[in-house]
Amino acid sequence: MEKTVNQKAWWLVAPVLVLVAFSAVIPLMTVVNYSVQDTFGNNKFFWAGLEWFSELLDSERMWNALGRQAAFSAIILAIEIPLGIIVALSMPKKGVWSSVCLVLMALPLLIPWNVVGTIWQIFGRVDIGLLGYALDAIGVEYNYTQDFYAAWITVIVMDVWHWTSLVALLAFAGLKSIPDAYYQAAKIDQASRWKVFRYIELPKMQGVLMIAILLRFMDSFMIYTEPFVVTGGGPGNATTFLSIDLVKMALGQFDLGPAAAFSLMYFLVILLVSWVFYTVMTNLEKKEQGK
């Protein structure tokens, strides 16, 4: 007897597919169209082929922005992942204080990105900002609008303040999933604190830590609002990351063709790295299930 298949469920999925088409697929195809053409206004387009991609690959400007972006993401991951783990390990696992800590950890994540940039822009000013005024009072020269290192330190500390909580909350969730029997067995074996972390807590946190690394990489690699509000990409091009450079190219210079090609290359880099992280996460999950 032939089994009948009910296809009516597609009518429930259809609105979602239409929404995705309008919000993602159609804009993406528009960008692809612009990336292979040139325009001088009045909706007149001229075929350019892969000219913009070739120019970008030979552009020192793009490679410099990519280098700054990669350095920023690497520094952010190197600071926030260990710091988030330390914070999670320090948080109480049960009781009222555990709930208080969770709420405090979640507070920075609720602040909009532009507000975070504005807070740190004012906070670091020498004339009215608490941080800038305090550093100036003790004789430390600090001006994030003129000094390369001050600008980088400000942007990095701002991101660490804003997003370390996400890593801490994910790591805390991983720690909470560990059965008490593991700790009891370690206590019986008189395992040191380092061995408990190395052989019990860290392996159990691998899954959530990979998610944290993936999320923090994607966000840090696409960061725009916070550094733009604080430094505007300066001083000079010190904090002109890929996203800021892309916006300057598209809106400031109105080079739509190169900007479209730039955005596609930007997208492919993020997609490639995300795929690598996903592959690693899948392999780790299979390894855990095989034990």
Q: 42: alpha, beta or left, given left = phi > 0 and alpha = psi -120 to 50? A: left
Name 135's Cβ contacts closer than 8 Å, sequence gap at least 6: 126, 142
User: What pLDDT was estimated at residue 77?
Assistant: 94
Residue 188 maps to a domain: yes
Number of domains in the chain: 1
* 1 has a pLDDT exceeding 70: no
Is residue 84 within 8 Å of 91, Cβ to Cβ? no
Domain at 147, CATH number: 1.10.3720.10
Query: For residue 290, is pLDDT > 70?
Result: no
Q: Which of the residue ranges 2-11, 89-98, 159-168, 199-208 would you say has the lowest mean pLDDT?
A: 2-11
184 lies in a domain? yes
CB neighbours of residue 233 within 10 Å: 22
* 29 falls within a domain: no
- Give residue 236's region: left, alpha or beta (phi > 0; psi -120 to 50): left
Task: Provide mean pLDDT across the span 187-211.
Answer: 88
pLDDT at 98: 87
Phi, psi torsion values for 131, nearest 5 degrees = -65, -50
When pLDDT is cut at 50, 70 and 90, the band that residue 291 belongs to is: low
Residue 89: the pLDDT is 92
pLDDT tens per residue, range 231-256: 888 888 899 998 999 888 888 777 88
Give the domain range for residue 238.
60-290
Note whether residue 87 is domain-resident: yes
Q: What is the mean pLDDT of the chain?
A: 87
Position 142 in a domain: yes
pLDDT class of 288 with cuts at 50, 70, 90: low
Domain-located, residue 151: yes
Lowest mean pLDDT among 15-24, 96-105, 135-144: 15-24
In-domain check, residue 228: yes
The 10s digit of each residue's pLDDT in 48-75 is 888 888 888 888 888 999 999 999 999 9
